A and B are shown apart, each in its own frame.
Chain A
Amino acid sequence: MQQEVVLALLAKEPSYGYELRARLGQALGPLGDAINAGQIYVTLGRLEKAGLVSCERSSGLADRPDRKVYELSPAGQQRVADWLTEMSWPKPDLAEFHLKLVAAAAAGLADPISIVDAQRRELLRRLRDAQRAAMAEPDRSDAALLLEGVVLRMQADLRWLEACEQSWIDRKATS
């Protein structure tokens, strides 16, 4: 898991690992189900070694396996502040798919239009899943907003597939 994400989860107040997991679950909803709980602890360990997080064992809770309270160090606070103002945006990998179509057509290995069809089938199934998950979330929840982003991106991908379909049909007709 990305270190800055875990640091930022910790920015609110010194916390136990399980509290960070709860915050992550709240923000991601069903999209967070696939995240392995152990990842947060692995990342916390790395952050501690890097001096971005300090850790104290709390006493008096002997029955709890999770007794470490984590806190941002000054360097950790600085990293979070920098991260918030950093420009970052997930990169869609369109080139790989595009090159697949170009190569398939050039070598006569496969019909690019049937590759587009297969991709569209898969994307529409994913869109259906994401949309149903979004509709099941309460309005204005953090997770609903994230799912809306996922749905809108898939919709954009599907529109691009339509453009691919049209373009390859036109090329076939004129070749």
Chain B
Amino acid sequence: MSTASGTPILSARGLRKEYGKEEGLVRAVDNVDIDVAPGETLAVMGPSGCGKSTLLHLLGGLDRPSGGKVWLDGRRLDQMGERALARMRRQSVGFVFQAFHLMDELTAQENVELPALLAGSSPRSARQRAVDLLEQVGLADRRAFLPSGLSGGQRQRVAIARALSNEPRVVMADEPTGNLDSAAAVDVLRLFDSLHDAGQTLVVVTHNSRIAATADRMIIMRDGAFVDQTRLTGGTSGHLGALIGLEG
């Protein structure tokens, strides 16, 4: 599923988010247009403070834009009331955060069940889905553990399983490897790669070039605007062998 096409599942036009006033006005997101195709993995990179996290929050309905339009799955998020927006988030978006945001007093499995229960699944089907997802992220034997008994990498994998609990239309990840060592980051990138192969739409904001390199397309942001966009698929001009200097 590396060739994503069709009607965008996520779109924005003229999207803006401003903080402060007059002299202190900050344009965190400055007139951005974006389309994400179903099944596409999109990476957003850029220096700290460039607005990439704010953008993700606007696209996922966690924050309200100052101006512009956002469509998720064909519906306008910017015009929705609070309750409809909350419902849309629960049903259609899976979030993964840098700091995991797991419930400390719930087991790994209970954490993963929670979004499905909140979205109205039966306890039985929520449980079955949680068991399947924890197996998918390689944590079948950690189901009954509390987050405090898990490593950072394991917690993030639980958080990814939780994000998938509702079969979201889009998974949005904000610096998912920001708190992880490089081995745990590789586990996350393998997981994202397998989600991509399974056709999951993913938007990832990251500093980690290895995570960005799993994407089909990359956007670079500076000062709230897109300054560079490129497709990463389609390969490079040279052989892999050229990378090790043994050619010729």
Interface residues of A (CB under 8 A from B): 1-2, 5, 28, 30-35, 90, 117, 120-131, 133, 135, 146, 150-151, 154-155, 158-159, 162, 165-166, 169
- Supposing A131-B213, A135-B190 touch, asked if A121 and B243 sit within 8 A by C-beta, the answer is no
Q: How many contacts A-B (CB < 8 Å)?
A: 86
For the A-B complex with A34-B239, A34-B247, A162-B207 known, give 10 more contacts whose Cβ atoms are closer than 8 Å. A28-B241, A28-B244, A33-B241, A34-B242, A35-B241, A120-B228, A124-B218, A125-B232, A126-B236, A130-B243
- Supposing A128-B232, A155-B210, A158-B209 touch, asked if A30 and B47 sit within 8 A by C-beta, the answer is no
Q: Which residues of B contact A154 (CB under 8 A)?
A: 209, 243
23 contacting pairs across A/B (C-beta < 8 A) = A1-B246, A30-B240, A31-B240, A31-B246, A34-B240, A34-B247, A35-B247, A117-B220, A117-B228, A121-B230, A122-B236, A124-B212, A124-B230, A125-B235, A125-B236, A126-B243, A129-B235, A131-B189, A131-B214, A133-B240, A151-B210, A162-B207, A169-B47
* B81 close to chain A: CB less than 8 A: no
Closest Cβ of chain A to B42, distance in Å, is: 13
Q: Which residues of A contact B238 (CB under 8 A)?
A: 126
Interface residues of B (CB under 8 A from A): 47, 189-190, 193, 207, 209-210, 212-214, 218, 220, 222, 227-228, 230, 232-236, 238-247
Q: Which residues of A contact B207 (CB under 8 A)?
A: 162
Q: Which residues of A contact B220 (CB under 8 A)?
A: 117, 120
- Supposing A125-B235, A125-B236, A129-B235 touch, asked if A31 and B241 sit within 8 A by C-beta, the answer is yes
Q: Which residues of B contact A117 (CB under 8 A)?
A: 220, 227-228
Q: Which of A28, A34, A121 contacts B228 (CB 8 A)?
A: A121
Q: Which residues of B contact A2 (CB under 8 A)?
A: 246
In the complex, are the beta carbons of A124 and B47 less than 8 A apart?
no
Q: Which residues of B contact A129 (CB under 8 A)?
A: 235-236, 240
- Supposing A121-B228, A125-B232 touch, asked if A166 and B47 sit within 8 A by C-beta, the answer is yes
CA distance A33 to B245 in the complex (A): 13
Closest Cβ of chain B to A148, distance in Å, is: 9
In the complex, are the beta carbons of B210 and A165 less than 8 A apart?
no
Q: Nearest CB to that of B216 among chain A residues?
A: A128
In the complex, are the beta carbons of B243 and A31 less than 8 A apart?
yes
Closest Cβ of chain B to A152, distance in Å, is: 8
Q: DSSP class of A's interface residues: helix, strand, loop or mixed?
A: helix
CA distance A35 to B239 in the complex (A): 10
CA distance A68 to B223 in the complex (A): 65
Q: Which residues of B contact A135 (CB under 8 A)?
A: 190, 193
In the complex, are the beta carbons of B232 and A124 less than 8 A apart?
yes
CA distance A154 to B158 in the complex (A): 29
Q: Which residues of A contact B230 (CB under 8 A)?
A: 121, 124-125
In the complex, are the beta carbons of B241 and A155 less than 8 A apart?
no
Q: Nearest CB to that of B230 among chain A residues?
A: A121
Q: Nearest CB to that of A118 among chain B residues?
A: B228
Closest Cβ of chain A to B228, distance in Å, is: 5
Q: Which residues of A contact B235 (CB under 8 A)?
A: 125, 129
Which among A5, A28, A122, A129 has the greatest number of chain B C-beta atoms within 10 A? A129
Q: Which residues of B contact A5 (CB under 8 A)?
A: 246
